[in-house]
Copies of this chain bind each other. A is one copy, B any other.
């Protein structure tokens, strides 16, 4: 019945460990925490014994004694009761978690409904269970910036509340540049008419992606045609509808810039329905943040797996926050990460115009 021998002894606390060693708690604590005033031989002995007994300090007690919680809060907004959790969070948190573990921090997860979002934040600081928080899903001019500053709780935002303010910490993916680069790539491939299938541009990230697209297009003196830009929720159906309408245009696009994988699937449907071949008649570039959620994305064979930019953003945001906690009067830090782009079904220069259009 007991498959595992108790080679792992029952958990032990500092006092017991000190007793075993015949030392005081203080010395043991100092040895374990790398204080300089401990004799090296003592330290060795302490560390070895601690390992032997699998001693792990109780983080809560440590927190009580030091005034630090050694815990970071991630507060995820749930705007609609039945709304689904955005998979981006998982990815971001996986990255952040790595950083915390490496630094002895724990991760406290809280879901906040919008009716009582402010209260959630106030609670979390009143309870004193975290040293800082990561703010997810920023809105334009988000009230949480002022709230957190007032409460003097260190925080880092994943994203930005607008493009100009820099008086708080954030980590973001450079959506503008990503789409500027992607558009440029399509231009270099010889495309004249490039379509943009974007997410809702009320959201900061989508708006910035559009700016990048426009920048490259106007820089290369390409015609900017409203009929070739859509902004809507990123679903398969919306991708399909958008592409279908665009391909029916008198002067249809030869390339699509897409903000999500599912939308790209819809585009592909419209393309083949129009009798065109992806990779020959039409190019598609997909922003990778979403693509990486699909384990197996061989629907677009040219996909090359890279570490998700979102996960990286999580790591960087965590590092930034820990730095800020160590040194609260630091001036605001910001970081703009380059995104990974996926070239879906397009490897070389293409014919300028669709080959044919049957049915």
Contact = CB atoms under 8 A, between A and B. Distances in A.
Interface in A291-323: 292-299, 305, 307-308
A86 B87 CA distance: 8
A198 interface: no
24 contacts: A3-B150, A4-B150, A6-B150, A58-B64, A59-B129, A60-B61, A60-B69, A60-B129, A82-B305, A82-B307, A84-B308, A85-B93, A93-B109, A94-B111, A97-B109, A97-B110, A101-B110, A101-B111, A233-B295, A235-B295, A235-B296, A235-B298, A238-B296, A272-B273
Question: How would you classify the secondary structure of chain A's contact residues: helix, strand, loop or mixed?
Answer: mixed
Interface residues of A, number: 75
Given A83-B295, A106-B108, A235-B294, 4 more contacts: A58-B64, A94-B111, A101-B111, A272-B273
Contacts of A253: none
Interface stretch (A120-128, A182-190, A210-218): A120-128
Contact of A3 (B85, B146, B294): B146
A70 to B, nearest CB: 10
Q: How many copies of this protein are present in the complex?
A: 2
A272 B266 CA distance: 13
Contacts of A64: 58, 60-61, 64
Contacts of A168: none
